[in-house]
Amino acid sequence: MANETKRQIRWEVRSEDYPPVHHFCMLIVNKRREIARIQQRLKEVLQPTDEFRIITDRYITKADVVYHAIEFDSYMPSPTQIPWEKIYQGKVIRDRNLNPRTKTEGLANYIDEGIRKGTFFS
């Protein structure tokens, strides 16, 4: 499998009406420098946002990329209106399994295991 096919953004959001807030979870697979650029674009496009909280962050040796999972809150009007083309030109997938688990480390474990098994790359 080529490195380019692994590079992607996976995301999920849970929204609350009052006060209006959108709880995002994102898994970004790319080079570390590109991940920093993507995060900057996210902050610009989805502003205002709270600070990004890292869920898990590891290097994938075989693919020479990093996976970086974050959570953050955004107060923008609607997640359905995200201009993904301004954030990332590659593969962007809504993944409804990227949501909080009952155990604090549950989501990190799910992501780490999914990366190890290649679940996110099929």
Structural domain tally of the chain? 1
- Residue numbers of the domain that contains 76: 3-121
Render the burial of 70-97: b for 16+ CB within 10 Å, e for the rest. Answer: bbbbbeeeebeebeeeebbeeeeeebee
Residue 85's CATH number = 3.30.1360
Predicted confidence (pLDDT) per residue in 66-119, tens digit: 999 999 999 987 888 899 999 999 999 999 999 988 887 899 999 999 999 988
Tell me the whole-structure pTM to 2 decimals: 0.90
